[in-house]
Amino acid sequence: MADVDTPQTFVFKRGRLAHAASLLVGNLQLVFYPNGYSRLKARKSNTLRDFLAVAGSLGVTHLLVFTSSGEGTTLRIIKTPHGPTLTFRLVEYSSMQDLHAAQGAPVLTKRMIDSAPLCIMAGFGDVGKETKRSSDEQKAIQLCATTIKAMYPEVSVTTAGWRSVKRCVLYSADKTGLISFRHYLVRYRIADASGGLISVFQEHNLALGSLESIKDIQTLQRPEPTDLLECFFSDKPFQLIEVGPRMKLKLLKIEAGVSSGMVLYHAYVTKTAEQVAASELKAAITRNRMEKEARLDIRRRVRRLEEESRNIARTATARQQTADNLAYYAAEREAELSESLGDSPAT
């Protein structure tokens, strides 16, 4: 059983999604494994309240919900049990299957993902500095960073060592606030290998026709890191292998509660003080209504359990009465047979 302090996630979809977007659901379930549920399936009849009802007993701290509308695919990150709820639009995305077909990325196995990934955040502190964005937007991005970071368990590299890191995820924000997501396997680098040998092992389609002999491999140059995360690991005894999925996320809004609270931030709507007060009142009414419905639901469940207990007790009583009647009938028949045998003439 997972530690109570370890974050747990549900990843599922609501409604119909495009096939490519549906693949992301299973991909992210693998990303969060083993601190998630890789075989979670949502039925059409399941509501968000159903998932919230079981989240507490299972120790689930975050829900990732994919939905689709006329404007595209959205991803909601919900912190249970009281929020906040972050809503993103998927600007671009590629599934693990897409990367495997295009780049030959390895297919994940349970052995590769038996430990949680290391979460790396980059660029969130620089959002809005050059574009002079409002303080509300900068605070929203910082809340995004805090919420995303909380979805992953803390991995102490200094304590456990680099060899304990098998995977890592990178969330990087550009200066406009667009968030990119990448997922990598971390492989141990060959010790004391030359740049030429590293080139041979890392390049799948390396051209060696220009070399006169095998000794000339040593003249090959070690490939330079191509992105931010590879630069970070360039002096580490590891190499990175991207396995997907990839996503680019645009923050749309932040709600205080669980998909029904007051809107704390909206990318396209700016409210006046009167509108904010009206939103707070509406959120309070909605919150009270949901709490009342939750209490009624608990009472209904308690009554149903009590009725089931009474039915079980009545059934047990009826069975015991039947058993007693059968025993009494058997005793009477035995007595009658004994009397009849005693009254019969001797031969």
Between 157 and 114, the more confident residue is 114
Q: Which residues contact 105 (CB under 8 A, 6 or more apart)?
A: 96, 99, 241, 242, 243, 244
How many domains are there within the chain? 2
Residue 245 lies in a domain: yes
Query: pLDDT tens-digit profile of 214-235?
Result: 455 555 555 555 555 566 656 6
* pLDDT class of 155 with cuts at 50, 70, 90: confident
| Residue 343 within a domain | no
Q: How far apart are CA 104 and CA 243, in angstroms?
A: 9
CA dihedral 275, 276, 277, 281 (to 10 degrees): 100
- Give the range of the structural domain holding residue 114, as residue numbers without chain letter: 9-189+236-270
What confidence category does residue 151 fall into, taking pLDDT thresholds of 50, 70 and 90?
very high
Q: Are 69 and 56 in contact (CB under 8 A)?
A: no
Task: Determine, yes or no, domain membership for 320.
Answer: yes
3-class SS shares of the chain: helix, strand, coil, % to 5: 45, 20, 35
- Judge if 146 and 289 occupy the same domain: no
pLDDT at residue 70, as a whole number:
80
Greater confidence (256 vs 109) lies with 256
Segment 188-193 shows an average pLDDT of 57
Q: What is the pTM of this model?
A: 0.69
Give me the sign of the Cα torsion angle 250, 255, 260, 262. negative
Last residue of a domain, one of 245, 270, 295: 270
On whether both 132 and 247 belong to a single domain, the answer is yes
Top-ranked range on mean pLDDT: pick from 35-44, 84-93, 120-129, 300-309: 84-93
291/146 same-domain check: no
The pLDDT of 324-345, averaged and rounded, is 81
Distance CA 293, CA 299 (A): 10
pLDDT of residue 201: 45
In the prediction, which pLDDT does 132 show? Answer: 53
The one-letter amino acid at 87: T
The predicted structure's pLDDT at residue 63: 96
CATH number at residue 96: 3.40.50.10480
What's the full length of the chain, in residues?
A: 347
Backbone angles phi, psi at 63, to 5 degrees: -115, 130
Asked if residue 342 has pLDDT above 50, the reply is yes
